[in-house]
Amino acid sequence: MEDLIKKAVQTASLDEREIVALLSDASCGDALRAAADGVRASTVGPGVHLRGLIEFTNVCRHNCAYCGLRLGNKDLKRYRLSAETIIRAAETAAERGIKTIVLQGGEDMFFTPARLAPIIDKLKSMGLAVTLGLGELSRNDYRALKEAGVDRYLLRIETTDPALYSQLNPGMSLESRMRCLDDLNELDFETGSGIMTGLPGQSLRSIARDLLYFKRLDFDMIGIGPFIPHPCTPLRGAAAGDLGLALRVTALARLLMPGINIPATTAMESLSPGGRMMALSSGANVVMPNITPSEGRPFYEIYPGKAGSSDDPLEYLDTLIADIRNSGRTISEGIGSRRKG
C-alpha cells in the first residue's frame, strides 16, 4: 500500500484496481490522508476558501431515493426565498469577508434564468463570485445563466454506475446527467461534480470508476459526502455511509486531481462531529458555511441532523473560522477559483 500511495503522490495517476486496493484497506487510511494533505499543501496551499451557501428553494421535481427534498416527501414544508432575502443574506456574508455565494436549490423550475438574472447581477455587482446548483437544465438555459454572470456550477453525478443510478434516480438518466456536465464544461463554467459514498448497493469498484471519470473530465471541484438515510425516503432503513471511507475517497480525489478545489462537506460533519476538520486534513481546501436565512434553513433537509441547521448562521461562521485557524490553516483572501496548469 505504501508503494501505491507513493506512486499516487508522484504521478497523480492510479488504475481502477489500485484505487480499489486503497479504498478497501481501512488500515492505510491515515497514511493516505497524510499524503493527500501533503499534496494539498504543495499544490493549493494553506488557504481555505469559504463559500457562503444559500439554499434558496427546497422545491424539487425529482424523486431521488436518498433525498429528503424528493417530490414524494409530502411531510416537508416547501419554500422559495425572495430575491430580496437572497441578496440580504449575501450582503451580510460579504461584510464578513465571504467572496463566493453558492445558490443551491432543488430542481425547481420556477427559478428560470430570467428570474435568476437580476439576483446574479446584484451579487456580481458586489464583487462576489457566483456558484449555482439547480440540477439538470437545457444547454440553452446553462448558456443563459453563464451570460447572466454565473461563474461556477455544481452538479454531482452521484454515481457513474448505470444500474445503481437508475435504481436510485427514478425517471432520470445517467446519460442526461453526463450530457449536462459536458455542456457545463463546454460552456466554460468552473464545474463541480461529486458523489455520495456508502450508498446501498454501491461497490468500491464503482467509486474507483467515479474518481477516474472525474479525472478524465477534468472537473474543477469535487464534493464527496457520506450517504445519510432520511426517514421520509425509501432508503430510510439503509445503513449510513462510513466516515473513514468518505475520507479515503476525499484523499484519493486530491491525489488523483492535485490542483482542484475539494470541499469538506457538511455531510461529513453531520455524520460525525469533527468530520469536516478531518476532511480538511485529508485533502480538502474549501468549506461552505450555510448562511441560509431562518425562513428556509430548517426545511432544506436533504438528510436528518444536518450540521449547522439549527445554529445562528453568523455565529456558526465565526466558530468555523476559529476552528480553521486553530488547525493551522488560513482563510483564503482570494475568490478561490481553481488554478489550472
Q: Which residues bind ligand 5AD (CB under 6 A)?
A: 66-67, 156, 158, 196, 225, 227-228, 230, 267, 302-303
- As measured in angstroms, the least distance from the Cβ of 100 to ligand 5AD is 17
Q: Which does 70 bind (CB under 5 to 8 A by kind): ligand SF4, ligand 5AD, none?
A: ligand SF4
User: Alpha-carbon distance 190 to 211, whole Å?
Assistant: 18
Determine, following the binding rule CB under 6 A, whether residue 107 of this chain makes contact with ligand SF4.
yes
Residue 60 or 208: the one with the smaller Cβ distance to ligand SF4 is: 60
User: C-alpha distances in angstroms, 134 versus 22, 30, 154, 194, 195?
Assistant: 33, 35, 8, 15, 16
Partner residues linked to 79 by β-bridges: none
The interface with ligand SF4 within residues 285-304 (CB under 6 A) comprises 302
Determine, following the binding rule CB under 6 A, whether residue 106 of this chain makes contact with ligand SF4.
yes
- As measured in angstroms, the least distance from the Cβ of 337 to ligand SF4 is 25
Q: Which does 220 bind (CB under 5 to 8 A by kind): ligand SF4, ligand 5AD, none?
A: none
DSSP character string of 29-89: HHHHHHHHHHHHHHHT-SEEEEEEEEEEE---S---TT-TT-TT-TTSPP-B--HHHHHHH
Contact between residue 241 and residue 280 where contact means Cβ atoms under 8 Å apart? no
Binding mask of the shown chain, residues 108 to 147, with x at each position contacting ligand SF4 by CB under 6 A:
---------------------------x------------
- As measured in angstroms, the least distance from the Cβ of 79 to ligand SF4 is 13
User: Alpha-carbon distance 289 to 320, whole Å?
Assistant: 8
- What's the distance, CA 146 to chain centroid? 20
DSSP character string of 177-216: HHHHHHHHHHTT-EEEEEEEES-TT--HHHHHHHHHHHHH
Determine, following the binding rule CB under 6 A, whether residue 180 of this chain makes contact with ligand SF4.
no
Alpha-carbon torsion 92, 94, 96, 99, what sign? Answer: positive
Partner residues linked to 101 by β-bridges: 52, 130
Residue 48 or 302: the one with the smaller Cβ distance to ligand 5AD is: 302
The interface with ligand SF4 within residues 56-85 (CB under 6 A) comprises 60, 62, 64, 67, 69-70
Q: Report the length, in residues, of the chain.
A: 341
The 8-class DSSP code of residue 252 comes to H
- As measured in angstroms, the least distance from the Cβ of 69 to ligand 5AD is 8
Determine, following the binding rule CB under 6 A, whether residue 155 of this chain makes contact with ligand SF4.
no
Residue 158 or 269: the one with the smaller Cβ distance to ligand 5AD is: 158
Residues that bind ligand SF4 (CB under 6 A): 60, 62, 64, 67, 69-70, 106-107, 135, 302
